[in-house]
């Protein structure tokens, strides 16, 4: 069913329909379209467009549709509708009749798609932040493991000066931190709700748009309806973030491809990220890294295409903007997959420290140290630079390294050189000399690793009996202020396997539990963080950890009763009716201090919503 047919005496021909329809790719917004529709139904009830009964019928029908969509998203793509909005509205009308036609009151597909797309982008950006964090952790762990390993540093792919392999690792940690910062900034600007902007001029109904935004987990509502429906800056920003990060990943991949080559032999990649040749049985090809390098161009292409699409569009919405999705839908999963693959490569690296050290000794990489030595002897650097150049020529002619030249040879070129030159030319001395902040000396690299690890302050893990006292303290605190149900300490001991905790600097500062009912339904309970701990992100990390646990246990649905629905919306939960919860859940409400004036919102998470990403066990504050 088309949503716009009244103006036309005949429908579109088949060729135009196929050219125009977006459902084959925007079906990926099905969950977001339904969640946005549930929120809009609530907004319409608040302005008396819908009665309470009508609102309940619509929400129940939308929740049932969401369950179907989550279970089989591919079926939506081939359903034959114009777009995801047509699909959802038609399916809703099939369930509730003409009542389904009331839901679009005051709303346009323009503000719908802008909202859907932001919700999808927000969820995807959060997954990418976690993946970048996990890659950064792997690099820091590798740097710590290989601390002291020396490799040649390069400029122009020529051996330049020796550096610690750990210094190389931490260089990419710096890049990833900037990638995280850019993405976090983009996420902040993206998290604005356009719903209620109508087609371009706003809605004629007195919708509380700030409340609507909060219900959907947005930070605020958009301030200009023209901008809200036509803005795709957030798509450009995401693709820009992806392109810069992929550029970093591609450079990382190129370095490792070179280090892994037979000519270098500095590292060996794990079998799990390499492949063989169909003809040459001796080959072990770095395919994972080459694909990262190759897919970088694919992401760059999506960014360029988006910029070209938007460059001359007048306000407000234009059909050209339908081209905003396919590129992003391809680029974001590509970026995510490349991050995961880079992490797999890092975790499987074996470093041949003897070979790296031998290479670092070659190529006269200590020439700069010799020039500095001459400066210390009172020779101007430019003159010293020339003297060292002559000595390098002599060393090449004799087939030696600089440190292998005789003192007599040194003195022939520069009489100021003495026996004390040899300790200066040793490899370890070259490394140790770089002591300024950001240098490759062991103390500086150790400091960089320590600083990076401090940023990874939060650790989340399954609880054990040693954590009972800390968990008890957290639960009792939040129970006293009426935010959580009280629990006996003996109950915590018996159910310790349900709990997860966060640690900051080795101290338990947050907890939550996953309670499983006889029906297979699970509930997140007892979520609380030490109010005196100012490290953010613990609640999000606990929820993600428990959702991952629920996935591994093959659970289908996780619920929560909460007074902060916006927080859980950001984690992928959606509101549901308390009537849909088992009687056993509602019996627990008898223990609540606010049972006679309950203001908790029931929310649910369908496990099928969890993507294949691995949730890392630490988080940047």
The residues annotated as belonging to the active site are: 156, 277
- The answer to whether the bond into 501 is cis (omega within 30° of 0) is no
CB atoms inside a 10 Å sphere around CB 240: 17
> Residue 477 burial (CB < 10 Å; 0-12/13-18/19+)?
middle
Cβ(587)–Cβ(559) below 8 Å: no
Place of tokens 């009537």: 579
- Report H helices in 433-507: 442-455, 468-480, 489-494
Radius of gyration of the chain (CA): 30
**Among candidate residues 523, 553, 545, 531, the one with its CA nearest the CA of residue 460:** 545
| Phi, psi at 529, each rounded to 5° | -125, 145
In terms of residues, how long is the chain? 621
Distance CA 439, CA 393 (A): 28
Place of tokens 């009964």: 53
Confirm if 41 and 63 have CB atoms less than 8 A apart: no
∠ Cα 244 118 296 (to 5°): 25
Phi (first) and psi of residue 68, to 5 degrees: -65, -45
Interior angle at CA 15, CA 13 and CA 21, nearest 5 = 95
Angle between helices 84-96 and 52-71 (to 10 degrees): 120
Contacts of residue 587, Cβ cutoff 8 Å, sequence gap at least 6: none
293 sits in which H/E element: helix 287-310
């Amino acid at each position: 069913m088309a949503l716009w047919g009244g103006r036309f005496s005949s429908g579109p021909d088949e060729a135009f329909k196929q050219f125009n329809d977006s459902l084959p790719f925007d079906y990926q917004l099905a969950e977001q379209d339904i969640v946005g529709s549930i929120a809009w139904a609530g907004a319409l009830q608040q302005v008396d467009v819908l009665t309470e009964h009508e609102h309940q019928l619509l929400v129940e029908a939308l929740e049932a549709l969401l369950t179907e969509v989550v279970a089989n998203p591919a079926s939506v793509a081939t359903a034959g509708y114009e777009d995801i909005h047509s699909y959802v509205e038609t399916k809703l009308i099939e369930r509730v009749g003409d009542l389904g036609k009331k839901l679009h009151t005051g709303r346009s597909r323009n503000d719908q798609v802008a909202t859907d797309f932001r919700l999808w982008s927000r969820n995807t950006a959060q997954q990418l932040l976690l993946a970048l964090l996990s890659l950064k952790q792997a690099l820091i762990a590798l740097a710590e493991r290989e601390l002291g390993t020396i490799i040649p540093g390069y400029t122009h792919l020529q051996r330049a000066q020796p550096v610690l392999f750990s210094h190389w690792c931490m260089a990419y940690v710096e890049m990833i931190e900037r990638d995280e910062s850019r993405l976090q900034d983009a996420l902040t600007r993206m998290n604005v709700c356009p719903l209620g902007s109508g087609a371009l001029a706003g809605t004629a109904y007195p919708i509380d748009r700030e409340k609507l935004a909060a219900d959907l987990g947005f930070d605020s509502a958009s301030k200009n309806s023209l901008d809200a429906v036509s803005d795709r800056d957030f798509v450009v920003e995401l693709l820009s973030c992806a392109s810069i990060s992929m550029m970093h990943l591609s450079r990382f991949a190129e370095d490792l491809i070179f280090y892994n080559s037979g000519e270098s032999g500095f590292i060996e990649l794990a079998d799990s990220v390499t492949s063989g040749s169909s003809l040459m049985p001796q080959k072990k090809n770095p395919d994972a890294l080459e694909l990262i390098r190759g897919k970088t161009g694919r992401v760059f292409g999506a960014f360029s295409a988006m910029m070209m699409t938007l460059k001359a569009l007048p306000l407000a919405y234009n059909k050209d903007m339908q081209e905003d999705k396919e590129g992003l839908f391809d680029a974001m999963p590509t970026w995510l997959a490349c991050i995961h693959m880079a992490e797999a490569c890092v975790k499987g690296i074996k470093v041949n420290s003897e070979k790296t050290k031998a290479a670092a000794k070659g190529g006269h990489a200590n020439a700069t140290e010799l020039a500095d030595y001459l400066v210390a002897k009172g020779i101007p650097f430019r003159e010293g630079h020339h003297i060292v150049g002559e000595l390098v020529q002599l060393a090449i002619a004799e087939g030696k390294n600089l440190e292998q030249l005789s003192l007599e040879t040194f003195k022939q070129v520069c009489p100021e050189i003495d026996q004390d030159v040899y300790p200066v030319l040793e490899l370890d001395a070259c490394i140790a000399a770089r002591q300024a902040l950001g240098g490759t000396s062991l103390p500086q690299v150790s400091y960089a690793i320590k600083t990076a690890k401090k940023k990874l302050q939060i650790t989340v893990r399954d609880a054990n009996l040693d954590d009972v006292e800390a968990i008890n303290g957290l639960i009792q605190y939040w129970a006293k202020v009426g935010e959580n149900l009280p629990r006996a300490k003996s109950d915590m001991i018996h159910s310790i396997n349900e709990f997860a905790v966060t640690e900051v600097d080795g101290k338990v500062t947050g907890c939550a539990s996953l309670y499983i009912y006889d029906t297979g339904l699970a509930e997140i309970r007892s979520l609380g963080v030490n109010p005196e701990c100012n490290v953010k992100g613990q609640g999000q990390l606990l929820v993600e950890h428990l959702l991952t646990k629920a996935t591994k246990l093959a659970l289908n649905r996780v619920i929560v009763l909460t007074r902060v629905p916006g927080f859980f919306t950001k984690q992928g939960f959606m509101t549901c009716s308390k009537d849909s919860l088992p009687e056993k859940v509602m019996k627990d409400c008898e223990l609540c201090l606010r049972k006679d004036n309950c203001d908790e919102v029931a929310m649910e998470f369908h496990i099928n919503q969890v993507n294949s990403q691995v949730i890392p066990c630490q988080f940047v504050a």
